Structure 1
Amino acid sequence: MKRTLQSIDAPATPLFAAGAVALIAATYGLARLGYGLFLPAFSAAFALSPAVGGLLASGTSVLYCAAALAGFRYAPTRPRLMTLLAGTTAALGSAGIASAPGTAFFAGSVLIAGLGAGFASPALVELVQRNVGSGKQKKFQSVVNSGTGFGVVAAGTLALAAGSSWRLAWGLIAVITLAAMIAVLRADTSASTSISGGDGGRGSGGGSGAASDAQAHAVSLRKLRRPIAAAFIFGAGSAAVWVHGRLLLQEQGGMPTAATAAAWVALGLGGGAAVLTAPWLARHAVGTTWRVTVLAVAAATGTFAVAPDIVILSFAASALFGLAYTSATSVLIIWASQVSASSAAGTSVLFISLVLGQSAGSALTGALIEAAGFGSAFVAAAACTAGALGFAPRRGEPR
């Protein structure tokens, strides 16, 4: 990838930093994860059955993977296009939810809104590499990734404040998403400082160049086998809290709906606080940071299982889960950058594995809840999460 030294070493502008964090917050925390927080209001407005609500959630996961696959293919060379798609799909979907006249239109809008997150991560991983000096990239990637937590806080706050005015809330989400996308595209300096043509990326090259790219990706995929397995198992275990956590607090802990939404605000605050872990993640080896963050997620999940009726512990577990989960996904981004020929493509692969694991884990946890109860299901989820430790980097692998 041919860029001038100025574009490699120039510090990212405050506008780029704020826009990148906001775009992750909007596409992940609001447009994608906000669906679950607003599901009670959606179900009342459109007479959604639990089965239909679950199918829509699964559908967003499938389309997320499709968008992330597009990111795998195009983000290394066309990150601005992927950024445009991220913001446009999330904003259009959110606007569609806000204005939906009926169930079919609403369902289609939910699916479109979920696409944005799949485009966003690989696009921003690449843009961070192009706009941030190499010595600060690991820290900056973690800072941007913490935007998910801020988005969850915003979604929880909107769910509490909006009440029956959920259409206004989702119209606001659309506006926030568009503003964040525009900020990133305006602040990105890589296109103007690029020597080669195209979207600030590589030239197309000849046949031998294409063969070299294919060979490099094959090598990268072999090196990604351990983090792919780790991401899948981690996703399967963490799904219990994301999908069934509020129901556990409500049914087993006896919390009112407003209190469980507040617990999710605490989860989001924990996720936002992951920005404070960025220097620690950048200084330590991936093996160390992966083990610590995965163990913390497992501990938080286990706390949900054993103390759902103790409000202080439940809120603390929510905050710890948000902090550790967001930090763990930052570790996956750093891990991908160290073993993959393309950080953007590697991140796409690992996040697809993560989401596929969450899809499988949510279904298995639901089945366990029906068969053995919430406590046993969440203990099993905590054990599954801890199982991801078995695929941590071996000694001597990336730092």
Structure 2
Amino acid sequence: MAAQDPAAPEEDVARAPGNVEALRGEAPVKLRLMKVESEFRHNTRTLPRQERDKFTSMLWNSIRLDFGPKTTIAQLVGSDQKAALSYEHEDALKHTVDYYRSKVDHRELLRVLRFYSAYFLQQARREHKFSKQLFLLFKAADMLRMLSQYSPFAISADAETLVYAIFADLGSQRPAQFKPYFAAEQDIIKAVRRLAVFPSDHRARERLAELYYQQTSFYDAFVQFSFLSRIYPKMPIAGDTRRGAKYLQMANIVQELAHVPRNRLGDARKLRNFIDRYNRDHGGKGMLPLPNSDPARIQKSMASMLPAADALYRQTLAVTRLGAPRLTEAALKLGQNLDQEGRPKEALAVLLEHKALLAKIGASATAWERRLEYINQVVAVAMKLQRRDALNLALEEQRDFRVELERVQQNTKARKTVAESDEEMV
């Protein structure tokens, strides 16, 4: 099969960790021979040379182990498939994955994702320019992580092992840029292998979700938190604290991506990946696709993420025993979002309903800063709505909170000065 370049890889190079600009034009990394290829060569050693050479690529190496030496793409996904396995550009790739995701039986989807991940790995091994190779490697990693998502229990040790292998090669040959990411993958593969044996290990799955988040695999973290929220034992809503904590973590992931500063939109692939996968899993509804350019449309796309965060913050607030600090965080962010969405009346109602939580979040400087941030939002919305009753009370509390915050900060500074003096005397 002839190599075909996905459309516009240059814009996606910015996803790579480290300074990719400095890597442009450098020689590509050497990707190790994968186990599946070694097995293929062994299993086909008795075939006639012409037949063996007919399927020499990594693409067919991975497929023939399951389906035999004369497998075709049509046979791979069923000869009556309505969507061709197209990969010439991003839109065609997305359309194909969307089609197979829409089917009830995910077995065909898993085969398609395996096909794509193998194809991108094959192309990456042939690529002579590192920046383009890096794009292909990350596309392969995306497909492999999706393969994990749609596998039983949202875990695939085989797929994650290939992701690990990608980062092992990058980390060993480009340590300055990729060694920290390889170190994170080492922790990820340990958690995945644990879950492959014990899929109901809640702590291991929570650890995996946190590791995905640290690795900036945001949707994969979202998937694992969502899976946890579904498998926790059912409890009355008010006291379902473990599930409530997951709702808050999921909401915060969406919230963070919806407010990515423009100067960080070099990471647009992560944002686009999250939106595409979220829409695919929610019937194509909820978030506007992220365009390649046009700042106004980009801003509109990011704003369309807020309702998803809002719904999760509301679910969090329903768990009234979650604890005042977390509930305050959820109420504040929900109020900020509703105000940003042009729904100030709803924003003020949420903020006033949960304002009593402020008395229960502690007396540290951080707690007073959170109180002040909360009441500042109340003041802003009340002024917008010209609600004098709410505004006058909020202004009084705002003054009190500022005075108390300043007092706490001064006391903290004084204690620090005394401690430093004592150390010098010693």
TM-score by length of 2: 0.23
Work out which structure has the larger RCO, using CA pairs closer than 8 Å and 6 or more positions apart in sequence: 1
TM-score by length of 1: 0.24
